[in-house]
Amino acid sequence: MKFGLFSINTGVCSYPDGAVRIAQAAEAAGFESLWAGEHVVLPSPRTAASPMEPQDRILDPVIALTFLAAHTQKLLLGTGIIILPQRNPLVLAKELASLDVLSKGRLLLGIGVGYLEPEFRAIGVPLEDRGKRTDEYVAAMRSIWHDEHPAFEGQFTSFAGVQAHPHPVQQPHPPVIIGGHSPSAFRRAVETANGWYGYNLDVERTATMVAGLRQAQAQYGRPAELGPLEISVSPPSMSVDLKAVEQYAELGVQRLVLLPPAIKDIARLEQFVLGSGETFIRHMQ
């Protein structure tokens, strides 16, 4: 079992000193990866579907992870997740390639389709197109990252006769991880991605998600070049113990991305990180 740490770009970690302190504590504790989520804007006033208050701080994940790449040595840097249909795929591909280069190949690219309609409306992207855009954008980014003569022709993005260097260190592309709990997300993960990520899932719900992934693999098949599908899960905050870790592992989960408690004291958060390393990571080793 590998362990990641979520929310490295929010709360006290949205301040430079706090982010560095927690990232370095995670590295010292033996964590494998840091994860940063994304909301470009938040509904104001807050809607029932929104996970955050309008005034809550959240840094751009690519910028935050690039900053932390300069303050860590080995930690993988995961976007958990970037809302792909809200982004220009070539601009994002350049940003992500830059992060992979500057971190010497440590990027994990977690992506999702999004769900907050006010966010999509403010950005100017129709919510109903988000699935099709995501599929196109993944293919377009892979082409610009790896192909000798990059080109793509789609409904939402098209290009040819262009290049974008440097390419990512990780070739043919950084690992792509699909986030989401829907049948479409399962299909997308099985057909196109290296991994799948489920957020805020207890053991019982994880079992249901894993069954959905297996059903999708039986229905759609999986390209051999993608290899086994890596499963990552964030358990509910403060709900995981060693027994639960073993239960997740029995279900086929290979990475737990821990949700830290919602506290504003940096010292207490640091204690949580170091304590998690002592409790889980050293035990599993």
- Tens-place pLDDT, residues 217-231: 999 989 999 999 999
Query: What is the pTM (predicted TM-score) of this model?
Result: 0.96
Distance CA 80, CA 36 (A): 5
Give pLDDT tens digits for 245-257: 999 999 999 999 9
Other C-beta atoms closer than 10 Å to the C-beta of 269 total 22
| Model pLDDT, residue 249 | 97
d(CA 137, CA 35): 21
pLDDT digit string, tens, across residues 128-175: 999 999 999 999 999 999 999 999 999 999 999 999 999 999 999 999
**Chain position carrying tokens 């409306």:** 121
For the chain, what is the mean pLDDT? 96
Strand-pair partners of 5: 34, 258
Closest alpha carbon to 155 in 184, 123, 131, 186: 131
- Measured distance CA(158)–CA(219) in Å, rounded: 30
pLDDT per residue as tens digits for the range 33-91 = 999 999 999 999 999 999 999 999 999 999 999 999 999 999 999 999 999 999 999 99
Q: How confident is the model at residue 270 (pLDDT cuts 50, 70, 90)?
A: very high
Q: Which two tokens stand for residue 139?
A: 């293919």
Long-range CB pairs of 95-99, under 8 A, 24+ apart, other chains included: 95/62, 96/62, 96/141, 96/168, 96/174, 97/145, 97/164, 97/166, 97/167, 97/168, 98/66, 98/166, 99/62, 99/65, 99/66, 99/69
With contact defined as beta carbons under 8 Å apart, do 162 and 89 qualify?
no
Give the CA distances from residue 217 to residues 28, 140, 175, 181, 193, in Å, rounded to whole numbers and listed in that order: 37, 24, 19, 15, 12
The secondary structure element, H or E, covering residue 108 is: strand 107-112
Yes or no: domain 2-284 corresponds to CATH 3.90.226.10? no
Average pLDDT over every residue of 237-263: 93
Size of the chain in residues: 285
Give the SS3 label for residue 284.
helix
Q: What is the pLDDT at residue 66?
A: 98
